[in-house]
């Protein structure tokens, strides 16, 4: 008998971990239910990770909001059944690292709710372009407050989103819209979406009318010269300057070039601003562009004319205008008709006359509208000679002083220049006659020249202390010149202006 009992015992099936029951086994769209899932030989409490879901086919997955276990054989999972979830039978699936994945097929049924959510109306149902207004969207059996609800209008591929949304209750909400002029007129669908109702659509329920078309009517004044400061006013009709979130204003030349305008909003139809017309812009007619988020981009053809300015900014002088290789110097730069206090971008550099060699400035400090202090480090192995002096800013453009600066070579015997106190040159500027006076007796070589090669030389000129000698450049054209004074292998170069 014992042998027979052993045979019967070995033939019994081995039962593993399985799901046995889900209670309740039905729920309706729109409900939130706690489901109790029971298992056999399961280890819910011992598992460190637990995943629970309902699944229909391969794409519809419903996950619970919360999961807690009662014992190794029982757990509770709270599900929210939305109107997005299709009616029908769902498998219950539970996974943990001890039991693996367990499936109870067709364990739960979602029943269609007879009270399906829908949108009923939108008030008002018509607006004109340029308007900003609140739309009251009403629904039936909706759940606007149960989940974050979004709202939008659409016409084909065009979508209009609200500025803000206020949920009044589960069936009413207010959405504030601004209807910009770049939206097409015509019929629009009203759409809402939240996690409970899904997407609801009220077809062709809102109408957008053309409204009064905004235009730019005037810019005053309508012209100015390059390099002048200008206060101006821009006027529109049916525009929305004060209501707009942003405004961008600029001029585009009919022959090329453009520059921006900084404006202050006075009211919906009036802008006021000021600008310095850059010297670098082209002369001619400019179209005025005004862009904002309500009116779109408005253009007034030939609204402004830039006139030529016969007076151009230029470099008057630099001091010192001589240095030697390896020197660190600060050059006081004086210009005329410039706007240094107003500009945003500065570059100062020197280029060797007739060469590509460049000495860039180390720093630029604005003293006033016509004066800069510029720091340079002359390279120890720089090339001696005359350098053009360049100043650039975004208002005045590039100014070039041809051959204004001289770099001497400390290796060739002229590293010990005469002191500025030793020799005086006056008057400077001159109309043709000028004097040189020294504090010491001696003989001097004096050469007057410019970077183009014009020169006049005086050899072994005897000088007595504090006795000025007269020199003449009456036959030289007006412009910049250099006066090189050499004595006992000492050299001093001074700049001279004839006018």
- Does pLDDT of 423 surpass 80? no
Residues in the chain, total: 499
Give kind and range of the element (H or E) at residue 472. strand 469-472
Reported confidence tier of residue 330, pLDDT bands at 50, 70, 90 = very high
**Dihedrals phi, psi of 58, to nearest 5 degrees:** -110, -10
Give the other-Cβ count within 10 Å of 294's Cβ.
23
For residues 488 and 440, the answer to whether their CB atoms sit within 8 Å is no
Least confident of 184-193, 416-425, 449-458: 416-425
* CB contact set of 481 (below 8 Å; sequence gap of 6+): 448, 449, 450, 473, 495, 496, 497, 498
Contact 101, 16 (CB under 8 A): no
Identify the CA nearest to 399 among candidates 423, 370, 363.
370
Mean pLDDT of 75-79: 97
Query: In CATH, which superfamily holds the domain spanning 219-307?
Result: Macroglobulin (MG2) domain (2.60.40.1930)
Alpha-carbon span 408 to 186, nearest angstrom: 78
Structure-token pair, residue 141: 């059996």
322 and 268 in contact (C-beta within 8 Å)?
no
Confidence (pLDDT) at 417? 43
Calculate mean pLDDT across residues 440-464: 80
Q: What is the mean pLDDT of residues 453-462?
A: 82
pLDDT tens per residue across span 84-126 = 999 999 999 999 999 999 999 999 999 999 999 999 999 999 9
Of 121, 117, 171, whose CA–CA distance to 144 is shortest?
171
State yes or no: pLDDT of 415 exceeds 70. Answer: no
CA–CA dist 492, 499 (Å, integer): 23
Q: Which band of pLDDT confidence, cut at 50, 70 and 90, is reported for residue 13?
A: very low
User: Average model confidence (pLDDT) for the chain?
Assistant: 90
Tens digit of pLDDT for each residue in 370-398?
999 999 999 987 788 889 999 999 999 99
- Tell me what pLDDT residue 489 has: 59
CATH 2.60.40.10 spans which residues of the chain? 16-111, 118-209, 322-408
310 DSSP 8-state letter: S
Per-residue pLDDT at 349: 96
Residue 251 CA to its chain's centroid (Å): 19
Residues 240-267: what's their mean pLDDT?
94
pLDDT of residue 307: 96
Residue 348, pLDDT score:
97
329 and 373 Cβ atoms separated by less than 8 Å: no
> What was the pLDDT predicted at 454?
78
Three-class secondary structure of residue 4 per DSSP = helix
Phi and psi for 45 in degrees, rounded to 5? -75, -25
Closest CA to 128 of 62, 177, 192: 177
Which residue, among 102, 125, 130, has the nearest Cα to 215 in the 3D structure?
130
**Quick one: pLDDT at residue 440?**
74
Share of the chain above pLDDT 90, in %: 69
Q: What is the pLDDT of residues 161-212, one digit of tens each?
A: 999 999 999 999 999 999 999 999 999 999 999 999 999 999 999 999 999 9
> 217 to each of 211, 251, 300, how far by Cα in Å?
18, 15, 7
Q: Does the pLDDT value for residue 483 go beyond 50?
A: yes
Of residues 310 and 8, which shows the higher confidence score? 310
CA 381 from chain centre, in angstroms, equals: 42
- pLDDT exceeds 60 at position 472: yes
**CATH T-level fold of 16-111:** Immunoglobulin-like (2.60.40)
Residue 437 · residue 483 · CB < 8 Å:
no
Place of tokens 């009992």: 5
Higher pLDDT residue, 23 or 411?
Answer: 23
Top-level class of domain 423-498: mainly beta
pLDDT digits (tens, 9 = 90+) for 122-157: 999 999 999 999 999 999 999 999 889 999 999 999
Superfamily per CATH, domain 118-209: Immunoglobulins (2.60.40.10)
Give dist(CA 282, CA 257) in Å, integer: 7
pLDDT at 421: 45
CATH superfamily of 322-408: Immunoglobulins (2.60.40.10)
Phi first, then psi, for residue 153 (nearest 5°) are: -110, 145
CA distance 28 to 113: 6
Q: State the CB neighbour count (10 A cutoff) for residue 245.
A: 9
CA distances (Å), 228 to each of 260, 313, 369, 460, in order?
Answer: 15, 11, 13, 51
Cα separation, 147 vs 470, whole angstroms = 96
Task: Single out the residue of 291, 284, 216 nearest to residue 255, CA to CA.
Answer: 284
State the pLDDT at residue 465: 78
pLDDT for 213-233, tens place per residue? 999 999 999 999 999 999 999
């Amino acid at each position: 008998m014992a042998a027979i009992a052993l045979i019967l015992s070995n033939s019994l099936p081995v039962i593993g971990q399985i799901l046995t029951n889900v209670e309740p086994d039905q729920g309706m769209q729109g409900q939130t239910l706690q489901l109790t899932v029971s298992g056999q030989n399961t280890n819910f409490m011992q598992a460190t990770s637990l995943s629970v879901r309902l699944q229909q086919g391969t794409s519809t997955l419903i996950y619970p909001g919360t999961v807690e276990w009662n014992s190794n054989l029982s757990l509770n999972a709270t599900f929210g059944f939305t109107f997005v979830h299709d009616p029908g039978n769902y498998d219950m699936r539970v996974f943990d690292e001890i039991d693996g994945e367990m499936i109870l097929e067709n364990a739960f049924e979602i029943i269609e709710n007879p009270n399906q959510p829908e949108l009923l109306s939108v008030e008002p149902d018509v607006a004109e372009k340029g308007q900003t207004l609140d739309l009251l969207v009403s629904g039936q059996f909706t759940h606007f407050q149960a989940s974050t609800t979004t709202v939008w209008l659409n016409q084909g591929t065009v979508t209009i989103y609200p500025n803000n949304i206020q949920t009044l209750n589960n069936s009413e909400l207010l959405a504030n819209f601004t209807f910009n002029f770049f939206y097409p007129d015509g019929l629009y669908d009203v759409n809402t979406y939240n996690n409970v109702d899904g997407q609801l659509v009220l077809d062709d329920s809102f109408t957008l009318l053309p409204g009064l078309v905004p235009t730019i009517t005037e810019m005053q004044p309508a012209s100015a010269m390059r390099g002048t400061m200008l206060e101006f006013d821009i006027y529109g009709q049916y525009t929305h300057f004060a209501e707009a979130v942003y405004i961008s204003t600029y001029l585009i030349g009919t022959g090329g070039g453009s520059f921006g305008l900084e404006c202050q909003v006075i009211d919906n139809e009036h802008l006021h601003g000021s600008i310095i017309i850059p010297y670098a812009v082209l002369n001619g007619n400019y179209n005025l562009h005004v862009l904002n988020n309500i009116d779109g981009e408005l253009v007034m053809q030939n609204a402004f004319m830039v006139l030529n300015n016969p007076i151009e900014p230029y470099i008057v002088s630099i001091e010192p205008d001589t240095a030697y290789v390896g020197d660190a110097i600060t050059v006081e730069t004086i210009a005329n008709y410039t706007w240094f206090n107003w500009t945003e971008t500065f570059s100062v550099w020197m280029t060797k006359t007739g060469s590509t060699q460049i000495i860039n400035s180390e720093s630029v400090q604005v003293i006033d509208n016509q004066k800069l202090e510029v720091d340079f480090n002359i390279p120890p192995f720089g090339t001696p000679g005359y350098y053009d002096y360049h100043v650039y800013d975004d208002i005045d453009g590039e100014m070039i002083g041809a051959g204004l600066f001289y770099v001497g070579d400390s290796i060739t015997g002229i590293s010990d220049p005469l002191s500025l106190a030793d020799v005086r040159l006056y008057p400077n500027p001159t109309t043709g006659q000028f004097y040189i006076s020294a504090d010491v007796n001696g003989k001097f070589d004096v050469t007057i020249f410019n970077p183009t090669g014009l020169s006049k030389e005086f050899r072994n000129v005897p000088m007595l202390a504090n006795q000025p000698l007269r020199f003449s450049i009456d036959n030289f054209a007006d412009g910049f010149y250099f006066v090189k004074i050499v004595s006992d292998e000492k050299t001093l170069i001074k700049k001279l202006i004839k006018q």
